[in-house]
Amino acid sequence: MIVEGRVIKLGDKIDTDVIIPAKHLKSTDSQYLAQHVFEPIDPEFHKKARGAIIVAGKVFGMGSSREQAAIAIKAAGVRAVVAESFARIFYRNAINNGLPAIACPSIASEVKDGDFITVNVETGEVRVGDKVLKGKSISGMALEILKAGGLIEYLRQLQRRQLS
């Protein structure tokens, strides 16, 4: 599974209240959520997100368990998030919603805003220009869930396979 795109660079400790404020959590509609992604720091974020890869520092997605944080980023057209580290809950939510999340300790120091990067989800390798950075690969059930496009789709496929 290979993902590529232009980098939108964010800082350390990006929290879920900044990704999607609580006032939008009464909806799970992905298109509605996409319109409001990163609203507190950049209300126009959704206009530049399509096809991009978010690169960030430490504990991306820290804070609340709101699954809408991962849904909003994915629905805005972001192809992957590569961060030095992730908050545990966000990481699971990302995978469960088909959004690749790659932990790569050197990413923030090696990549700048606007760079074009290629991410190999299965090996964890991130390519920027001539450089190859080593990140944490995704394997096993998490990879199957990602490939299916999320947990619900994965479970449906599982049921279909069991029936046939």
Partner 1 sequence: MKTLTEKILSRASEKDVSPGDVVEVKVDIVAFHDLTGYHVIEVMEKAGAKRVFKPEGIVIAFDHLVPPPDVRSAEIQQTIRRFARELKLPNFHDVGYGILHQVLVESYVMPGQVVVVADSHASTSGALGAFAQGMGASDVAAAAITGRTWLTVPQPFKIVLEGRPRQWITGKEVSLEILRAFKADYFVGMSIEVFVGEPRAFPMDYRLTVANMGVEMNADALTFVPDEEASRYLEEMRGVRLSSFERPDPGAKYVDEYSLKLDDVDFLVAAPNSVDNVKSARELSDVEVDVVFIGSCTGGRLSDLEIAAKIMKGRRVKTRCIVIPASWRTFKRALELGYVQALVEAGCVVTYGTCGPCIGGHFGVLGPGEVAVSTSNRNFIGRMGSPQSKVYLSGPAVAAATAVLGRIAEPGEVL
List residues binding partner 1 (CB under 8 A): 12-13, 15, 17-18, 21-23, 25-26, 28, 40-41, 58-59, 62-68, 70, 85-89, 92-93, 96-97, 140-141, 150-152, 155-156, 159
Cβ within 8 Å of residue 123, ≥6 positions away: 137
What tokens does 74 get?
């994915």
Q: Answer for the pair 49, 76: CB distance below 8 angstroms, yes or no.
A: yes
Q: Residue 66 or residue 79: which is nearer to partner 1 going by CB?
A: 66
Least distance to partner 1, CB of residue 23, Å: 6
Q: How far is Cα 37 from Cα 71, in angstroms, rounded to an integer?
A: 9
Q: Residue 5 or residue 96: which is nearer to partner 1 going by CB?
A: 96
Least distance to partner 1, CB of residue 107, Å: 15
Least distance to partner 1, CB of residue 62, Å: 6
Least distance to partner 1, CB of residue 78, Å: 17
Calculate helix-pair angle for 140-148, 88-96, nearest 10 degrees: 50
What tokens does 53 get?
């890869």
What tokens does 149 get?
């496009």
